[in-house]
Amino acid sequence: MPDRSLPIGVFDSGVGGLTVLAALEAALPGERFLYLGDTARLPYGTKSPASVARYASQCAGALVARGIKLLVVACNTAASAALPALARQFPTLPVIGVVEPGAAAAVAATRSGHIAVIATEGTIRAGAYQAAIGALSSDVRVTALSGSLFVALAEEGWTEGPIVELAARRYLDAAFAQPLPPDTLLLGCTHFPVLGRALAGVLPAGVTLVDSAATTARAVAQLLAQRGLASPLAVGATHFLATDGPERFARVGSIFLGRPLLAAEVELVDV
Amino acid sequence: MPDRSLPIGVFDSGVGGLTVLAALEAALPGERFLYLGDTARLPYGTKSPASVARYASQCAGALVARGIKLLVVACNTAASAALPALARQFPTLPVIGVVEPGAAAAVAATRSGHIAVIATEGTIRAGAYQAAIGALSSDVRVTALSGSLFVALAEEGWTEGPIVELAARRYLDAAFAQPLPPDTLLLGCTHFPVLGRALAGVLPAGVTLVDSAATTARAVAQLLAQRGLASPLAVGATHFLATDGPERFARVGSIFLGRPLLAAEVELVDV
């Protein structure tokens, strides 16, 4: 039985997973978090499944070596490519990805039974969301879209205005113009929630935007309670690790975390 | 003295260097080329100089191990971070980067003595173009701009239309609206030449667009002639290596190479 006061490990290819961390911090204020951004090898979204699985194994290993009680894979591409392998590699460690919670949120939100999911090329090609939604409900139709430019727009901080709106129209319009269009858009990349307002502005009225941050945080809270692993602390804390460029991690990361982050708070590590 | 029939090694973080390869193939039709795209670790442009220097050393080592007579570093970020280190690591191998040829082309093009250079964040922060232009001419003023989104736009194949034009305005307008504005825009990233037409459309009349592909090819031709290394072959050939995803390399690479490239032509390697 792991120590309840150990931190929860969270990793992502870079800064996108900070949207999930922000939801975790909000939902679980007494927990300690150890966040690792693999900025030396980002993005994962355009890499092959074999490379992503190797990177994920190394990130998880680095967090486990420092001591964690639960692992959150806060990167859709890594969760798509590596979740079963991570569960085998660390058989006693509870591991939660962002794909199943996101899929569950989308299935709960749709009324028409048609969900659109937009994610990186790697996540879409891996078919993880399509499979996770299919496992939850056999009569839900899924339209899968890849939107790699959204990652660069989010990292550049261009989260509103005509450029992101035009890009959103280019990625989304055809899907929402089809007969019996989707009524739910699942953001299948942790970078995308910061573009939420711009995306909502170009979607037809009545379409629900869903991301996996809040539902992942709820899934983590449930699992901690089930296993008796909830922190005994009144106030938590977060420690940040990055495999490259603490300064850029802090600057760009602030956009995703929703609060200022200083380079001095980010420890440079090799995994 | 190396064998004149050996190939010329060319590497880049991914597909952008294929714009340089296309210029080399056109200028040197009898040469063999060995092109390596380090797609497993792209992009280099947002990584730290230390990481980029390590990757460059590994890429160069992989090419040298297969036998090359000259090395072209067709990635501005790698050339900025690693050229002196590569020259020390391989003391008998001629090594040419894209920074000095690009700087020379811009200095030759400017009449007003004010050059703007746009590149990735890493290249601009390293100051390589500013230094190379300064070394060629002490009275040239340089306005340095970073334009990371251009990499994603080029890789998405969105090389014309309103999105790239709006992004170009956002990156460039302020620099060209200043008093005594630049009269030359140097594209300091090998991805950017495919956006050339869109960029020209938003620049004030009379601004000259310069990239390093053609001047790098000329510098390579000169060096081959000087060292007696020009190929004895009538018809050359190119072999492609990539560290990840041959299919994506071929699909996206075709945009940069300017001719179709098949996944079957790309050998997957580990460096």
Which tens digits make up the pLDDT trace of B203-245? 999 999 999 999 999 999 999 999 999 999 999 999 999 999 8
Length of chain B: 271
CB atoms near residue A205 (< 10 Å): 5
Cα B233 from chain centre: 26
**Span A179-202, average pLDDT:** 96
Give residue B2's pLDDT.
73
A8-97+214-268 CATH, one of 3.40.50.300, 3.90.920.20, 3.40.50.1860, 3.40.1440.10: 3.40.50.1860
Contacts of A2 (CB under 8 A, 6+ apart): A68, A69, A92, A93, A229
pLDDT tier for residue B145 given thresholds of 50, 70 and 90? very high
Give residue B257's pLDDT.
96
Q: Is the pLDDT of residue B38 over 70?
A: yes
Residue B59 designated active-site: no
**Span A63-71, average pLDDT:** 98
Q: Does A121 touch chain B (CB under 8 A)?
A: yes
The answer to whether B9 touches B37, Cβ cutoff 8 Å, is: no
pLDDT tier for residue B1 given thresholds of 50, 70 and 90? low
Give residue A123's pLDDT.
87
Reported in sequence order, the residue ranges of A130-265 that DSSP labels E, i.e. its strands, are 141-146, 184-187, 208-211, 237-242
CB pairs under 8 A between A and B: 65
**What's the CA gap between B122 and B46, in Å, rounded?**
5
Report CB contact under 8 Å: B40, A51.
yes
**What's the CA gap between A88 and A56, in Å, rounded?**
13
Tokens of B74: 């067709």
Of B42, B51, B152, the CB nearest to A244: B51
For B104-149, give the DSSP string.
HHHHHH-SSSEEEEEE-HHHHHHTHHHHHHHHH-TT-EEEEEE-TH
Nearest CA in chain B to A161: B166
Give residue B117's pLDDT.
98
CATH 3.40.50.1860 segments of chain B: 8-97+214-268, 100-212
Give residue B255's pLDDT.
93
Q: Is the pLDDT of residue B29 over 90?
A: yes
Q: Which CATH class is domain A100-212?
A: alpha beta
**Span A45-72, average pLDDT:** 95
Measured CA distances, B130 to A15, A197, B102, B125, B160 (Å): 30, 39, 11, 10, 29
Lowest-confidence region among A41-45, B106-110, B135-139: A41-45
Angle between helical axes of B76-89 and B128-136 (0-180°, round to 10): 70
Residue A59 designated active-site: no
Q: Does B121 touch chain A (CB under 8 A)?
A: yes
Q: Is B259 helix (H, G, I), strand (E, B) or coil?
A: coil
The answer to whether B175 touches B143, Cβ cutoff 8 Å, is: yes
**Span A132-153, average pLDDT:** 95
Query: What residues in B contact A244, CB-CB < 8 Å?
Result: 47-48, 51
Q: Does A53 touch chain B (CB under 8 A)?
A: no
pLDDT 10s digits, B165-218: 999 999 999 999 999 999 999 999 999 999 999 999 999 999 999 999 999 999
Report CB contact under 8 Å: B244, A155.
no
Taking the alpha carbons at both ends of chain A, their separation in whole angstroms is 26
Of B47, B152, B244, the CB nearest to A48: B244
Q: Is the pLDDT of residue B129 over 90?
A: yes
Q: Does B48 touch chain A (CB under 8 A)?
A: yes
Q: Is the pLDDT of residue A2 over 90?
A: no
Give residue A1's pLDDT.
67
Q: To the nearest whole percent, how much of chain B has pLDDT over 70?
A: 100
Contacts of B138 (CB under 8 A, 6+ apart): none
Among A52, A121, A166, the strongest candidate for a mutation testing the B interface, having the largest count of B CBs within 10 A, is: A166
Report CB contact under 8 Å: A248, B121.
yes
Report CB contact under 8 Å: A153, B158.
no
Q: Does A163 touch chain B (CB under 8 A)?
A: yes
**Span A14-24, average pLDDT:** 96
Nearest CA in chain A to B252: A46
Reported ipTM: the value is 0.84
Q: Does A49 touch chain B (CB under 8 A)?
A: no
Give residue B42's pLDDT.
87
Q: Is the pLDDT of residue A208 over 80?
A: yes
Say which amino acid occupies B261: L
What sign does the dihedral B254-A121-A146-A168 (CA atoms) show? negative
CB atoms near residue B229 (< 10 Å): 20
